[in-house]
A and B are shown apart, each in its own frame.
Chain A
């Protein structure tokens, strides 16, 4: 997939991973890079932006091994944003899929 295209959807990916559970940075990066091949370093700037915009907050939690970890948590407005972006994404992909399938049908 085009790398520019991927970065655009990174925000939805981060929000929806966080909608399932609170994550620490490394965990979040891992969840996403399991599915999408990206420069992992760009997730941290994105998290900062989401925090600035009030979609996520952070808290520290002790871990079994080593010092406490910084966890990211969706706020109420973050949940709303996640929901809206997801709806939008679903509508968009459904429409694109319909077009792609339609085009193939016409070619046959």
Chain B
């Protein structure tokens, strides 16, 4: 691989052009160009400067992850948090354990709470109707030992179901914001290898 300014700038541009806004990318590139310019004025070679800057791929991955996490912070959406997590995963293999695993656990947890909530919400009214039918004496098979207790129980069940679904929404929002803070910290702390030489 060539180790010069042009190649460094090319890799950064290539990795970031779809992600960063054009003016942000230009601003970033100008920092690196200035670095090469002053370095060369101080008598260092492009290869030397390239090497001490470290891998441009790595710098690009970090910039990308930071940008996508910031975007997910400003605009909460499933797509944004998904992109942010995917970008953070690219920072290092061990983020499979430190990012992907907790993320999957939380998603499953939220899903389970949601499904239980929906099941209660749907099953409650059904059980209520059944209890009434049972009081009226129509169904031959009884699910409630006491149909009156069944009435109260099914109302309670519906209420809990609705609360679970609403609570799940707040829980998701809480995890979202905690997740953003964690991802920021993660990107801040994590680094890969240095110079490829």
Which residues of chain A have a CB within 8 Å of any CB of chain B? 3-4, 6-8, 11, 24-26, 29, 33, 38-42, 44-45, 47-49, 52, 65-67, 69-70
Max chain B CB contacts within 10 Å: which of A8, A42, A45? A45
Q: Do B53 and A48 touch across chains, with their CB atoms under 8 A apart?
A: no
Cα separation A71 to B39 with both chains bound (whole Å): 16
Within 144-197 of B, Cβ neighbours of A (below 8 Å) are at: 188-191, 194-195
Query: In terms of DSSP, what is the predominant structure of the interface of chain A?
Result: helix
Cα separation A24 to B194 with both chains bound (whole Å): 23
Which residues of chain B have a CB within 8 Å of any CB of chain A? 28, 30-32, 34-35, 37-39, 41, 52-56, 58-59, 62-63, 66, 70, 188-191, 194-195
Collect the chain B residues with CB atoms within 8 Å of residue A24's CB: 34, 38
Q: List 24 A-B contacts (CB under 8 A).
A: A3-B194, A4-B189, A4-B190, A7-B191, A8-B188, A24-B38, A25-B31, A26-B35, A26-B38, A26-B39, A38-B54, A39-B55, A39-B191, A40-B53, A40-B54, A41-B53, A41-B54, A42-B54, A42-B58, A44-B32, A45-B62, A45-B63, A49-B188, A66-B38
Q: Do B31 and A44 touch across chains, with their CB atoms under 8 A apart?
A: yes
CB distance from B33 to the nearest CB of A (A): 10
Q: Which of A4, A39, A47 contacts B195 (CB 8 A)?
A: A39
Q: Do A45 and B59 touch across chains, with their CB atoms under 8 A apart?
A: yes
Given the known interface contacts A44-B59, A66-B37, the answer about A7 and B190 at a Cβ–Cβ threshold of 8 Å is yes
Shortest Cβ distance from B59 into A: residue: A41
Q: Do B190 and A47 touch across chains, with their CB atoms under 8 A apart?
A: no
Collect the chain A residues with CB atoms within 8 Å of residue B188's CB: 7-8, 11, 49
Q: Do B189 and A7 touch across chains, with their CB atoms under 8 A apart?
A: yes
Cα separation A26 to B38 with both chains bound (whole Å): 7
Collect the chain B residues with CB atoms within 8 Å of residue A45's CB: 59, 62-63, 66
CB distance from B194 to the nearest CB of A (A): 5
CB distance from A79 to the nearest CB of B (A): 20
Given the known interface contacts A39-B191, A44-B28, A48-B63, the answer about A25 and B34 at a Cβ–Cβ threshold of 8 Å is yes
Shortest Cβ distance from A41 into B: residue: B53
Q: Do A3 and B191 touch across chains, with their CB atoms under 8 A apart?
A: yes
Given the known interface contacts A8-B189, A40-B52, the answer about A49 and B66 at a Cβ–Cβ threshold of 8 Å is yes
Collect the chain B residues with CB atoms within 8 Å of residue A40's CB: 35, 52-54
Q: Do A42 and B34 touch across chains, with their CB atoms under 8 A apart?
A: no
Cα separation A89 to B190 with both chains bound (whole Å): 19
Max chain A CB contacts within 10 Å: which of B38, B59, B189? B38
CB distance from B178 to the nearest CB of A (A): 19
CB distance from A48 to the nearest CB of B (A): 7
